[in-house]
Amino acid sequence: MEARSVPVAVVAATRYELKSLRPSFRVSSRGLSGRAPWERGLLDGVEVIAAATGIGPESAAARLEELLEAVRPGVIVGTGFAGALDPDLAAGTIVIAEEIWELKAQFRPDAPAAAGPVWDADPRLLAAALEAGSPEDPGGAPPPVRSGRVVASPSVVSSPG
């Protein structure tokens, strides 16, 4: 398969969160944009820039801005570890965001926090992601895939009770 002419950026807070790309990711070059380390290569025939942005919204925003000054991706995919308050989400579930909301204040289970939508998924990309489903697990069944609202929080959130 031939590589796309416009790369896909895959970003995560830490390099460890990008580790799952390793088995299929063929790195052709490495670089540094400001303080954002990145690797360029092919992932299943698609040109990919994988970058660790650092932990926290300020670091992520700054490193992503530095990366975007050096690389003009056609698509940005955010990946990483997350927690869930939905008991129906099993460990390992792949969650595809239909929209992302951001909590505007410290979350307390006993008080509503101001939140609002900050991003809606591109309908074509969302459909493609859902159609692709989950990757096959060589050891058994693939992980479950869910889509819906994702909420970003400036602090750790726990469920009441």
| Residue 34 DSSP code | T
Q: Is 97 helix (H, G, I), strand (E, B) or coil?
A: strand
Contacts of 94 (CB under 8 A, 6+ apart): 134, 143, 144, 145, 146
pLDDT band with cut points at 50, 70 and 90 for residue 4: very low
In a shared domain, residues 60 and 97: no
> In terms of domains, do 39 and 73 share one?
yes
Do 54 and 103 have their domain in common?
A: no
Question: For 71-133, where are the alpha helices, taking DSSP H only?
Answer: 123-132
Out of 46, 62, 80, pick the residue that ends a domain.
Answer: 80
**Residues 116-154: pLDDT tens digits?**
677 788 888 888 888 876 566 566 677 788 888 887 776
Q: Do 55 and 102 lie in a common domain?
A: no
- Mean pLDDT calculated for residue range 100-115: 62
pLDDT at 50: 94
User: What's the confidence (pLDDT) of residue 21?
Assistant: 83
> Looking at the structure, do residues 152 and 86 belong to the same domain, yes or no?
yes
Say if residue 52 is exposed, middle or buried (CB neighbours under 10 Å; 0-12, 13-18, 19+).
Answer: buried
Q: Are residues 102 and 33 in the same domain?
A: no
Res 138: pLDDT: 60
Please name the amino acid found at residue 130. L
| pLDDT at residue 61 in the model | 86
Whether residue 15 sits in one domain with residue 71: yes
Q: Could you say which of 58, 80, 102 is where a domain stops?
A: 80
> Where in the sequence is the domain holding 18, given as residue range(s)?
1-80
Domain boundary (80, 104, 128) is at 80
**Confidence label for 115 from pLDDT (cuts 50, 70 and 90):** low
Q: In degrees, to the nearest 5, what angle opens at C-alpha 134 toward C-alphas 25 and 28?
A: 10
Same-domain status, 121 and 139: yes
Residues 66 and 39 in one domain: yes
Query: What are 11-68's pLDDT values in tens digits?
Result: 988 888 888 888 889 999 998 877 778 899 998 889 999 999 888 878 888 998 988 8
Domain count, the chain: 2
